[in-house]
């Protein structure tokens, strides 16, 4: 059966980062490799529905992209009136073809290397992370902008400037040394965290999850943990992903509707992933200073180890969010701290925390702020206020699953007799 456009789009989401990583390794540059990647997928969209899916889509894409690069090399050679660009006795187009064949035969995976390469020394950490999310994670500019809490146009300019800065710097786009990898590790972890987060709760679209992204983030984080097994924060990040992803099967109902944590069927949680995450965290916490990923993993573990929603140790979660707040100036951490405050000290205390947060321009207008306020107002008995904020949150989210959930709650409160 010939693949549909949807099938090809799914392959793009799953394979584009790995293909790009291989091309950059072969070419040593970013822009031409990215152009070749897009050309290869354009060829796939034209040929695969007609000819059928190749045995190895990834190898096919690398070969087609390599030919595009070889064509570019020949065109440049002609334009500069040279007979050939010779690195060795083998012409460049043959070098690329041989390298593509090697990729297909060995299954080499350069994605983690590309993560480190994208965290380039000429870039600020935010710019490097944004570029990597676009190149490796395959996230749209809109999705990246939402993750950074900035306008989409701002993020588009940031990514464009990042590419230009690398090109203008003259610093090679190549494999970093062990020392350079250590310096870029924090940025790489942040990228993996954001890719996982987008996969676990998609910014937009009809589905709550994008398992291709969360699965890839988990796979790469496992690779990173094998590369630096003694790094406590890498272990914490992997534990956080495992403990969070363990709940994925219970987060949606039969029609794809969102099911909040306190209403989930906990028998659907992946106990193997929970056990692995807890074991990692237990081995990591006593070894040294505790970082934000370890704290977030500890919070996830408290949720996962509770037999029911009522058994959740919210006092411990509140304490952990308090520690996390001291390490991070992230408004989402403050938002979650407000929820924990409400669970321990009552909805009025949580709403008081939200009032201060509402003036933060980074989160002003974000749907989660309205959704949390609606939930706390409902718990406080302010039905009209809760309805208004559930509806406002629904207007502001671009996720259909979240929108339906919020509108359903507003409708339920409207239909409830006073």
Distance CA 27, CA 39 (A): 16
Query: Could you give the C-alpha distances from 359 to 300, 331, 370, in angstroms and in order?
Result: 28, 11, 13
* Phi, psi values for residue 258, rounded to 5°: -70, 135
Provide, rounded to the nearest whole percent, the portion of the chain with pLDDT above 70. 88
pLDDT per residue over 5-34, tens digit each? 778 877 877 777 778 777 776 666 677 777
**Region 218-222 average pLDDT:** 93
Instruction: Tell me how crowded residue 36 is: count the other CB atoms within 10 A of its CB.
Output: 27
Q: Among candidates 65, 54, 59, which has minimal Cα distance to 23?
A: 65
**Region 310-314 average pLDDT:** 96
The H-assigned helical ranges of 228-307 are: 232-245, 271-284, 292-305
Q: In this structure, is the dihedral angle defined by the CA atoms of residues 166, 100, 58 and 188, taken in order, positive or negative?
A: negative
Predicted local confidence at residue 108, as pLDDT: 56
- The maximal CA–CA distance of the chain, rounded, in angstroms, is 85
pLDDT at residue 350 tops 70: yes
pTM of the model: 0.80
Instruction: Tell me how crowded residue 339 is: count the other CB atoms within 10 A of its CB.
Output: 20
pLDDT at residue 154 tops 60: yes
Q: Are 15 and 61 in contact (CB under 8 A)?
A: yes
Q: In this structure, is the dihedral angle defined by the CA atoms of residues 260, 263, 266 and 268, taken in order, positive or negative?
A: negative
Give the distance, in angstroms, between the CA of residue 189 and the centroid of all CA atoms in the same chain. 10
* Phi, psi values for residue 377, rounded to 5°: -65, -40
* Phi, psi values for residue 13, rounded to 5°: -60, -40
Distance CA 115, CA 135 (A): 9
pLDDT per residue over 175-194, tens digit each? 778 888 888 899 899 989 98
**Region 330-339 average pLDDT:** 94
Q: Are 342 and 351 in contact (CB under 8 A)?
A: yes
Q: Are 313 and 306 in contact (CB under 8 A)?
A: yes
**Per-residue confidence band for 89, with pLDDT thresholds at 50, 70 and 90:** very low
């Amino acid at each position: 059966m010939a693949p549909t456009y949807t099938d090809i789009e799914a392959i793009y989401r799953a394979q584009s980062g790995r293909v790009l990583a291989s091309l950059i390794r072969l070419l040593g540059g970013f822009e031409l490799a990215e152009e070749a990647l897009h050309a290869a997928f354009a060829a796939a969209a034209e040929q695969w529905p007609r000819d059928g899916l190749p045995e190895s889509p990834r190898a096919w894409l690398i070969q087609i992209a390599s030919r595009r690069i070889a064509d570019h090399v020949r065109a440049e050679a002609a334009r500069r009136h040279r007979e050939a660009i010779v690195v060795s006795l083998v012409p460049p187009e043959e070098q690329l073809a041989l390298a593509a064949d090697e990729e297909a035969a060995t299954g080499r995976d350069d994605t983690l290397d590309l993560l480190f390469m994208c965290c380039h020394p000429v870039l600020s950490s935010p710019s490097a992370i944004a570029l990597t999310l676009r190149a490796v994670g395959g996230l749209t500019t809109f999705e990246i902008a939402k993750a950074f809490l900035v306008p989409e146009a701002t993020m588009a300019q940031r990514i464009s400037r990042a590419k230009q800065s690398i090109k203008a710097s003259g610093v090679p786009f190549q494999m970093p040394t062990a020392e350079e990898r250590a310096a870029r590790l924090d940025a790489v972890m942040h990228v993996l965290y954001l890719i996982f987060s987008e996969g676990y709760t998609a910014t937009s679209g009809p589905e709550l999850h994008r398992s291709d992204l969360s699965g890839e983030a988990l796979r790469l984080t496992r690779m990173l943990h094998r590369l630096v097994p003694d790094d406590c924060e890498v272990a914490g990040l992997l534990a956080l992903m495992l403990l969070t992803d363990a709940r994925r099967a219970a987060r949606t109902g039969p029609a794809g509707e969102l099911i909040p944590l306190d209403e989930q069927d906990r028998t659907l949680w992946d106990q193997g992933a929970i056990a692995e995450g807890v074991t990692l965290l237990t081995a990591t916490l006593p070894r040294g200073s505790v970082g934000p990923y370890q704290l977030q993993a500890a919070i996830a573990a408290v949720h996962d180890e509770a037999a029911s929603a009522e058994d959740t140790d919210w006092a411990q979660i509140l304490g952990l969010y308090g520690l996390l707040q001291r390490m991070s100036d992230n408004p989402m951490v403050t938002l979650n701290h407000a929820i924990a405050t409400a669970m321990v000290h009552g909805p009025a205390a949580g709403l008081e925390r939200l009032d201060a947060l509402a003036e933060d321009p980074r989160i002003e207008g974000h749907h989660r702020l309205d959704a949390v306020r609606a939930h706390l107002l409902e718990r406080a008995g302010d039905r009209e206020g809760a309805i208004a904020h559930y509806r406002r949150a629904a207007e502001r989210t671009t996720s259909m699953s979240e929108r339906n959930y919020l509108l359903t709650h507003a409708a339920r409160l409207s239909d409830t007799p006073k």
